[in-house]
A and B are shown apart, each in its own frame.
Chain A
Amino acid sequence: NAGVTQTPKFRILKIGQSMTLQCTQDMNHNYMYWYRQDPGMGLKLIYYSVGAGITDKGEVPNGYNVSRSTTEDFPLRLELAAPSQTSVYFCASSYLDRGWTSGANVLTFGAGSRLTVL
């Protein structure tokens, strides 16, 4: 069981280039998320999805796009990369644990993708 797999692990981009960070999960989770973590900071939510065909903006969506054509995959697209997008990107997925009184999503994170924009 691979869990949440992110590729690539490392990437260097030049300003203005574009790229896609891939994320796939094999746990049949409905919910998927993209976070970024800047040095010495907590994670911030970029985009999330509650199911195939449904996406929504998080706290810091500018400069990014996502799609969710399948349950398994949730790619994050960077258009016109900028130095401010230098960060570590984490993909996560979750399911609704109905064992909790009001339900609770238990998140599984990928190992992260470190992106540098020069």
Chain B
Amino acid sequence: KQEVTQIPAALSVPEGENLVLNCSFTDSAIYNLQWFRQDPGKGLTSLLLIQSSQREQTSGRLNASLDKSSGRSTLYIAASQPGDSATYLCAVNLEGGGSEKLVFGKGTKLTVNP
């Protein structure tokens, strides 16, 4: 059974710092991996999606990498800002072709202090 683990569970950093969030999964047979952001009391917002054949994706200050063989992904946030404070969730997709059977990690709660 696929399991997704995110470390650390919580992280507090000063504004301007670069940081890395980690995600690991037990079964490398994934279709793709996604990183989401969740703000308190709100739904999830998709940040980055990496196909199983890709190594990384970038969007603005965010960079996500994928090492499928070792079952690991990282989300790098450059020059962090207080507005980046949220919970970040990693999810692996077990099937392609249109049905997104996502397995989620528990998330990393990030606090960026002014």
Which residues of A line the B interface, CB within 8 A? 4, 30-31, 33, 40-45, 48, 50, 56, 58-59, 90, 92, 94, 96, 100-112
A101 lies within 8 A of B53 (CB): yes
Residues B101 and A48 in contact, CB atoms below 8 Å apart: yes
B7 adjacent to chain A (CB < 8 Å): no
Closest 7 A/B residue pairs (Cβ)? A42-B104, A109-B43, A109-B44, A43-B104, A105-B100, A111-B43, A42-B106
Q: How far is the CA of A31 from the CA of B93 in the complex (A)?
A: 15
Task: Give 1 or 0 for each of B50-63: 1 = CB within 8 Å of chain A CB.
Answer: 01010000000000
CB distance from A117 to the nearest CB of B (A): 20
Task: Name the CB-closest residue of B to A45.
Answer: B101
Residues of B close to A105: CB separation below 8 A: 93, 98, 100
Chain B residues lying within 8 Å of A101, measured Cβ to Cβ, are: 51, 53
For B99, give its contact among A4, A50, A111 (CB under 8 Å). Answer: A50
Cβ B96 vs Cβ A43 within 8 A: no
Whether A42 pairs with B4 at a CB distance below 8 angstroms is: yes
12 residue pairs bridging A and B, Cβ less than 8 Å apart: A31-B100, A33-B100, A42-B107, A43-B102, A48-B100, A50-B98, A101-B51, A103-B96, A106-B46, A109-B43, A109-B45, A112-B43
Please report the number of residue pairs spanning A and B whose Cβ atoms sit closer than 8 angstroms. 73
B105 to chain A, nearest CB (A): 5
Cα A92 to Cα B34 in complex, Å, equals 15
In the complex formed, the residue of B with least CB distance to A95 is B98
A45-B102 contact, Cβ under 8 Å, with A106-B46, A111-B43: yes
On whether the beta carbons of A111 and B51 are closer than 8 Å, the reply is: no
Q: How far is the CA of A96 from the CA of B101 in the complex (A)?
A: 14
CB distance A90 to B44 under 8 Å?
yes
Closest CB in chain B relative to A6 CB, distance in Å: 8
